[in-house]
Structure 1
Amino acid sequence: MNRKWIYYAGLISVAAIWGANFGVSRSAMETFDPILFSFLRFGLAVPFFFLILKLREGSVGIPWRVALQFALIGIVGITGLEIAVMYSIKYTTLANASLLNVAPWPIFTALFAPLFVKEKMTMRLIVGGAAAMIGVTFIILGGENGLDWSSKHMVGNLLAFGVSVVGAVYNLACMPLMNRYSSLRISAWTILFGSLFMFPFTLGSWSKVEWGGLGAGHYTAIAYNVLISTVFAFVVWNASMYKVGAARANFFRYVVPAAAVVAGMLFFDERIAGWQIGGAAFMAAGLVWISLERKPDEPSRLAA
């Protein structure tokens, strides 16, 4: 079996996990402040990352000069990105946020890739990516709530669009480091720094939670976010992205809204429209077309 299918399967699995997490987090938001819940997700994941790193690689340290790079990536890609996602959802519609958070991300990754890594843009990637983007647009617009471009949503729309830009840069900034460090080590340190910088934004939220009244559902949501949506997902995504290339890998983010729609149907009895089914088929065709590249690019290296 060609090993590339393992990496594509990893990307799809992680995107599905992140999509399902919309439903899990949506329920948790009734109890937790959004930023506090994000901090719990990443902060509680840190010990697991470093424990696994110590067991697998025998050490956890990094040079001081590299620590500064990880700190910068962490504050931008974890702290800033997660807070921007939360407030984009708060200040615009869910449809607007979903489309602007997800659809432009792979495009910016492809555009910015030459600044960070050597990745060849092929016609197959362009055609497959365009088909996938059209499909994910149908998935989002096919829901009960369409887009709303009124001025009252402008701040949220700009934040959501900014998430795509910053997210693309965050992914690409990790790529050169993967020539020297494992995806596990990179994830551990960037999430550590990201959690530290996020903590001050949670100070007013801890006292608002009735910790003694938390039930099994709350702890299950936290465990899913920490162990599945963060520890497992970040390691698998970064490792798979390194193998197939950042531009190609990020088009598989389009699985996220599709999985979120399915989660909404299963957990919240939301209806799936015909447009969404057709969009999912169109998106799947585009991603399959991308993954069938006969001569996939070699793992990305430092740009000359």
Structure 2
Amino acid sequence: MDKKWMYYVGLVVVAIIWGANFGVSRQAMETFDPILFSFLRFGLAIPFFFILLKLTEGSVGIPVKVALQLAAIGLLGITTLEIAVMYSIKYTTLANASLLNVAPWPIFAALFGPLFMREGISSRLVVGGMAAMIGVCFIILGGGEGLDVSSDHMLGNLLAFGVSFFGAIFNVACMPLMKRYSSLRVSTWMILFGSIFMFPLTIGSWSKVDWGGLTGGHYTAIGYNVLICTVLAFVVWNASMFKIGATRANFFRYVVPASAVTAGYIFFNEAISSWQLAGTIFMVAGLIWISLERRPTQPTVPIDQVS
């Protein structure tokens, strides 16, 4: 099997993991403040990242200049985006948040890509991306809530759309650094800085949790978020994105809503409509069309290294 399939499979698996996390974490949100739960997810993952980095690469350090870059990326991609996602869900419907968080993201990644690296955009990518985007719209809007564009949800809608905009910048900004350092090293330091910036925002939330009353379900949700959704998922996603390219890789985010719908069906007996099934077919067809491109993916080269 062509080695590039390993990276496409990695993207799909991570997207499924992130989508399933909607079901895993929903009940935990009744106990934990959303920002505190996000901090636990990333903060508890930090030791695992550094241990893994030391074992696999023999060192953990980065130059001061790179640390400053990763601090800025962590502030944007971990602290700001995670909080924006939480509050977009709070101030708009789940359907609105899902659609605006996910659907525009790959488009922005394609637009911002030339600012950080050179990636070709083929006709196959355009066609497959459009099919996948149509599919994800069917998946999200085919649910019970539908799209609500009333003024009551304007703040949440703007936050959700901002997640796509700045999330794409966050993704492509990582690419030049992963040309010089491993995806594991970049992920480790990015998450460290993002957690440091997030911590002050959790200070008022710790005392509100009945820590002695936590159940096995709460610990399972935390463990899943720390070990699977963060340590495993970030390493695999960033490594695969670097090999495939940010533009192509981000279209695989469209698997997340399909996985979330499936998790809702499994964990909460939520119905799956015919529109959502049709959307899944469109999305899968589009992603397969993208991944079958025979033209080899060119290595991503930061612009400042191109003669």
TM-score bracket, normalised by the shorter chain, equals: over 0.9
Q: Deviation of residue 27 (structure 1)?
A: 1.3
Match of 2:46 in 1: 46
For 1:199-238, list aligned pairs within 5 A: 199-238=199-238
- Deviation, 1:241, is 0.3
Match of 2:151 in 1: 151
Query: 1:131-188, CA deviations, whole angstroms, 9 ceiling, x for partnerless residues?
Result: 0000000000110111110001000000000000110000000000011100000000
Which residue in 2 is equivalent to 1:122?
A: 122
Q: Aligned runs of 1:61-210 on 2, under 5 Å?
A: 61-210=61-210
Q: CA deviation at 1:240?
A: 0.2
The answer to whether the Cα contact below 8 Å between 1:113 and 1:172 also exists between their aligned partners in 2 is yes
Following TM superposition, by how much is the alpha carbon of 1:84 offset from its aligned partner in structure 2, in angstroms? 0.3
The separation in 1 between residues aligned to 2:149 and 2:25, in whole angstroms, is 26
CA distance in 2, matches of 1:22, 1:259: 9
**Aligned partners of 1:28 and 1:185: how far apart in 2?**
30
Q: Equivalents in 2 of 1:25, 1:175: separation in Å?
A: 29
Distance 2:271 2:27 in 1: 18
Q: TM-score, normalised by structure 2?
A: 0.98
Which whole-Å CA distance do the structure 1 matches of 2:63 and 2:28 have between them? 38
Q: Give the structure-1-normalised TM-score.
A: 0.99
CA distance in 2, matches of 1:298, 1:22: 34
Q: Which amino acid aligns with 2:188?
A: A
Counterpart position of 1:300: 300
Aligned residue for 1:127, secondary structure, equals helix
Per the alignment, in what secondary structure is the counterpart of residue 32 of structure 2? coil
Residue identity in the other structure for 2:109: T
The code of the aligned residue for 1:7 comes to Y
Structure 2: distance between partners of 1:206 and 1:277: 41
Residue 245 of structure 2 aligns to which amino acid in structure 1?
A: G
* 1:268 equivalent in structure 2: 268
SS in 1 for 2:186: helix
Can you list the C-alpha shifts for 1:31-50, whole angstroms capped at 9, x where unaligned? 10000000000000000000
Aligned length: 304
Report SS of the residue matched to 1:29.
helix
Between the aligned partners of 1:299 and 1:242, the Cα distance in structure 2 is 8
- On the 8 A contact 1:70/1:190 being kept in 2, the answer is yes
CA distance in 2, matches of 1:258, 1:299: 30
Q: Secondary structure at the match of 2:165?
A: helix
Separation (CA, whole Å) in 2 of partners of 1:56 and 1:298: 26
Match of 1:250? 250
| Identical residues among aligned pairs (%) | 74
Give the match's secondary structure for 2:118: coil
CA–CA separation in structure 1 for the residues paired with 2:84 and 2:134: 25
Instruction: Provide structure 1 residue ranges, at least 5 long, that are not aligned to the other structure.
Output: none
User: Is residue 106–residue 251 contact of structure 1 (8 Å, CA) maintained in 2?
Assistant: yes
Task: Note the residue ranges of structure 2 that are not aligned, 5 or more in a row.
Answer: none
> How far apart, CA to CA, are the structure 2 residues paired with 1:88 and 1:25?
16
- Is the CA contact 1:244–1:296 (under 8 Å) kept in the aligned structure 2? no
SS at match of 1:179: helix
Shift of 1:299: 2.3
